[in-house]
Amino acid sequence: MNLTQKIKEKKAANTADFQTKIEILLKLAVIPDLKILAPRVSVKNGTVTLGGIVDAFWKSSYIENILASELPNRHVKNNLTVAMACFLDSSCQAAHEKELNTGHGSEKTQEAVLQDRMSV
């Protein structure tokens, strides 16, 4: 395989991953009674990683099951965080996104942010 073929294959894989990501975000947006704060979806090498915050444990499993059934050839990694307090405060989403992006050059994970909050 020459370099041109490798580049074309990588570009095709990136395009397919991007299309899958958009499809997932659209699907999540239309599920009734389901709100995800700071949703994050990444698709790489057949693995879909889902992040964000939901307000109930059942919603985390429910979302994972929906994605797994709709994407049978993909592995779904569920990194959703369950935190009810965020849904009580209307400014939580903006504060959470700001906190995620203030990690001295690298983004903090949602789990690290929640650990910081819980250790106070």
CB 52 within 8 A of CB 78: no
- Can you tell me the distance from the alpha carbon of 94 to that of 18, in angstroms, rounded to the nearest whole number? 25
Judged against a pLDDT cut of 60, whether residue 41 lies above it is answered with yes
Sheet holding 75-82, edge to edge: 37-44, 47-54, 75-82
pLDDT over threshold 60, residue 119: no
Q: What residues contact 93, with CB distance under 8 A and at least 6 apart?
A: 37, 38, 86
Say what the pTM is. 0.59
The pLDDT tens digits of the residues spanning 102-112 come to 554 455 565 66
